[in-house]
């Protein structure tokens, strides 16, 4: 079983099932969920206010890279696809992760982790 903690801004979307993915930095031990792994999703882990949001099963683990003007998921550069407009596709991806749009997601990752950001997309 793999546990993930969510900041308060993401807790409600995770709990109600609207947010069904998370982007995480690479871990030093290399351990992240793999497809088929049981997930426990929490808010406030390691605090007295810890609460479980839900149980889930990992369906995909995909490398992700976020740059100032580019989003790459696996081997797919979403900026280069051109389906329904590059920006729109990036907005859809960002909304699936709990952000308002691509700019909101990019700005959050810039502030929180710095860009470029290399990590992993975990879906359930």
pLDDT at 77 over 90: no
Quote the mean pLDDT of the chain: 92
Where does the pLDDT of residue 85 fall: very low under 50, low under 70, confident under 90, or very high at 90 and above?
low
Residues 36-69: tens digit of each pLDDT: 999 999 999 999 999 999 999 999 999 999 999 8
Report the relative pairing of strands 38-43 and 2-6 from DSSP bridges.
parallel
Query: What does the pLDDT average to over 79-85?
Result: 53
What predicted TM-score, i.e. pTM, was given to this entire model?
0.88
* Mean of pLDDT values over 84-89: 68
Q: If DSSP codes are grouped into helix, strand and coil, which group holds residue 5?
A: strand
Where is pLDDT greater, at 78 or 24? 24
Q: Closest by alpha carbon to 94, among 108, 114, 115, 74?
A: 108
| Residue 82 or 27, more confident | 27
Judged against a pLDDT cut of 50, whether residue 83 lies above it is answered with no
Inter-CA distances, 50 with 5, 24, 122, Å: 9, 20, 21
Q: Pick from 36, 48, 37, 39: which is nearest to 5 by CA?
A: 39
Percent of the chain with pLDDT over 70: 94
Residue 9 has pLDDT above 50, yes or no: yes
């Amino acid at each position: 079983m793999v546990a993930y903690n969510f900041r308060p801004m993401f807790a409600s979307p995770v709990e109600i099932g609207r947010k069904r993915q998370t982007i995480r930095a690479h871990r030093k031990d290399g351990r992240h969920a793999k497809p088929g792994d049981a997930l426990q999703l929490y808010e406030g882990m390691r605090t007295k206010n810890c609460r479980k949001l839900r149980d889930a099963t990992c369906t995909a683990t995909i490398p992700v890279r976020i740059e100032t003007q580019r989003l790459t998921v696996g081997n797919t550069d979403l900026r280069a696809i051109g389906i329904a407009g590059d920006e729109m596709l990036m907005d859809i991806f960002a909304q699936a992760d709990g952000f308002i749009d691509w700019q909101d997601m990019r700005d959050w990752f810039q502030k929180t982790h710095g860009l470029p950001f290399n990590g992993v997309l975990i879906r359930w």
